[in-house]
């Protein structure tokens, strides 16, 4: 079994209004060194297979078909082997 951690990031060319708002908040709080705030999504789940390649393939497909929208987002996958629950 694998524990999958997926980070879905808005493409760099796309404005991230939430990140901009957080950046503005940082200015209001008096932080002078915080820039380029981007707010991404992190999704965690278990993949009930024993083989890494199968897990990679299934998770990539899940990311491409649902967790991300390829026209505006990219994704990164981390897979860690865990003991059976």
Partner 1 sequence: MKLKFGVVVFPGSNCDHDSYHVLKHVLEQETVYLWHKDTDLQKCDVIILPGGFSYGDYIRTGAVAKLSPIMNLVIDFANKGGIVFGICNGFQILTESGLLPGALIKNKNIKFVCKDIYVTAVNGTSLLTKSLQKKTLMTPIAHGDGNYFTNDETLKSLEQNDQILFKYSSSNGEITDECNPNGSIGNIAGIMNKNGNVFGMMPHPERSSDGLLGKTDGLQIFNSLLTNFIK
SS3 for the chain is: CEEEEEEEEECCCCCCHHHHHHHHHHHHCCCCCCCCCCCCEEEEEEECCCCHHHHHHHHHHHHHHHHCCCCCEEEEEEEEECCCC
Question: Does residue 28 bind partner 1 (CB under 8 A)?
Answer: no
- Residues 44-73 close enough to bind partner 1 by CB under 8 A: 66-67, 69, 71-72
Contact stretch for partner 1 (CB under 8 A) within 9-17, 26-34, 49-57, 77-85: 9-17
Binding site for partner 1 (CB under 8 A): 10, 13-15, 17-18, 20-21, 66-67, 69, 71-72
């Amino acid at each position: 079994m694998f524990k999958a951690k997926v980070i879905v990031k808005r493409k760099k060319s796309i404005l991230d209004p939430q990140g901009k708002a957080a950046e503005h908040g940082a200015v209001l709080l008096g932080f002078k060194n915080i820039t380029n705030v981007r707010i991404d999504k992190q999704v965690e789940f278990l993949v009930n297979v024993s083989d890494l390649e199968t897990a990679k393939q299934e998770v990539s497909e899940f990311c491409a078909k649902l967790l991300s929208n390829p026209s505006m987002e990219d994704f990164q996958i981390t897979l860690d082997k865990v003991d059976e629950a």
